[in-house]
Structure 1
Amino acid sequence: MFRNFRGTRHRHTHTTLTGGTGKAAVSIRPIDTTPPQSLADAPGLDSSEEKVVSAKVQTFVKNMHQRLTAKVFPENRLFMDFLRLTDTYPTDVALTLLRCSPSCDRAAAVMWRTIALSGTTVVRVMPTLLYVMEDWPLHGTSTSEGDKDIFALAATIVVWEILQMIRYPCWEEHRFARNPSRFAVLTMKTLLCHLQFENIVMAMERKRGWDTLLRPDTRHYAVGLLAREMRRVSVPLCSWIALCLLGLLSRDKPCWEVPAMAFLVEVLDCLDLRECGDRVLEIASRHLQSECPERRRLALRALVVLSKDRAMAKRMCSLLESLVQLLWDADVELVELALPILLNMLQSKDILTSSPTALKLAEALRPLFDSDNSHVQILSIHLFQEVMKSVVDEGKKPLKIHVVQNLFPFFLYWHDENQQVAQTSREALLCVAKFLKRKDLEQMLKTEQPLKFGECLLEKDKSQVAEYVHQALPYLESPQEPLQEEIVSFSGK
Structure 2
Amino acid sequence: MFSVPQTLQNVLKELLIQLQDRHYRVFYTHWVDTAILRLAILASSDLQDEEFAPVYLVMRFLRQRRPAVLSLLLRAMMTLSQRGEMARKMEVMLPDLMWVLQYGNKAIKMKALVIFRNVMAQLEREKASPIAVRLAEFLLPFFDDELSQLRKISISLFRDLMKMVVGNDKRKMKNMVRLGLLPLFFRMSDQVQSVAKVQI
Name the TM-score class by shorter chain: 0.7 to 0.9
Residue 97 of structure 2 aligns with an amino acid whose one-letter code is L
Separation in 1, partners of 2:162, 2:56? 31
Q: In the alignment, which residue of structure 2 is the partner of 1:400?
A: 174
Alignment check: 8 A CA contact 2:101 2:112 kept: yes
Pairing 1:364–2:138 present: yes
Q: How do residues 368-447 of structure 1 correspond to structure 2 at under 5 angstroms?
A: 368-424=142-198, 427-428=199-200
Q: In the alignment, which residue of structure 2 is the partner of 1:328?
A: 102
Q: In the alignment, which residue of structure 2 is the partner of 1:261?
A: 36
Q: In the alignment, which residue of structure 1 is the partner of 2:80?
A: 306
Change (3 A) 1:254 1:388: same
Residue 180 of structure 2 aligns with an amino acid whose one-letter code is N
Pairing 1:251–2:26 present: yes
Q: Can you list the C-alpha shifts for 1:314-358, whole angstroms capped at 9, x where unaligned?
A: 222211211122211241122111101111122225244343x33
In structure 1, the residue corresponding to 2:163 is in which secondary structure?
helix
**5+ unaligned residues in a row in structure 1: which ranges?**
1-226, 429-493
Alignment check: 8 A CA contact 2:187 2:196 kept: yes
How far residue 394 of structure 1 moved from its aligned partner, in angstroms, is 1.0
In structure 1, the residue corresponding to 2:102 is in which secondary structure?
coil
Q: In the alignment, which residue of structure 1 is the partner of 2:128?
A: 353
Change (3 A) 1:239 1:404: closer
Change (3 A) 1:398 1:420: same
Change (3 A) 1:302 1:277: farther
Flag the structure with higher helix content: 2
How far residue 363 of structure 1 moved from its aligned partner, in angstroms, is 1.8
How far residue 302 of structure 1 moved from its aligned partner, in angstroms, is 2.5
Separation in 1, partners of 2:11, 2:135? 38
Separation in 1, partners of 2:98, 2:10? 34
Separation in 2, partners of 1:373, 1:324? 19
How far residue 379 of structure 1 moved from its aligned partner, in angstroms, is 1.1
The alignment yields a C-alpha RMSD, in angstroms, of 3.6
Alignment check: 8 A CA contact 2:88 2:123 kept: no
Q: Can you list the C-alpha shifts for 1:104-152, whole angstroms capped at 9, x where unaligned?
A: xxxxxxxxxxxxxxxxxxxxxxxxxxxxxxxxxxxxxxxxxxxxxxxxx
- How many equivalent residue pairs? 186
Residue 332 of structure 1 aligns with an amino acid whose one-letter code is K
Change (3 A) 1:277 1:334: farther
Change (3 A) 1:318 1:368: same
Alignment check: 8 A CA contact 1:369 1:380 kept: yes
In structure 2, the residue corresponding to 1:416 is in which secondary structure?
coil
Separation in 2, partners of 1:327, 1:287? 15
Query: Please, what TM-score do these two structures have when normalized by structure 1?
Result: 0.33
Q: Which has the larger radius of gyration?
A: 1
Change (3 A) 1:275 1:395: same
Alignment check: 8 A CA contact 1:246 1:280 kept: no
Separation in 2, partners of 1:360, 1:412? 23
Q: How do residues 116-131 of structure 1 correspond to structure 2 at under 5 angstroms?
A: none
Q: In the alignment, which residue of structure 2 is the partner of 1:319?
A: 93
Change (3 A) 1:327 1:397: same
Change (3 A) 1:240 1:403: closer
In structure 2, the residue corresponding to 1:393 is in which secondary structure?
coil
Separation in 1, partners of 2:13, 2:87? 21
Q: Can you list the C-alpha shifts for 1:128-185, whole angstroms capped at 9, x where unaligned?
A: xxxxxxxxxxxxxxxxxxxxxxxxxxxxxxxxxxxxxxxxxxxxxxxxxxxxxxxxxx
Q: How do residues 158-237 of structure 1 correspond to structure 2 at under 5 angstroms?
A: none
Residue 117 of structure 2 aligns with an amino acid whose one-letter code is L
How far residue 277 of structure 1 moved from its aligned partner, in angstroms, is 8.1
Higher relative contact order (CA 8 A, sep 6+): 2
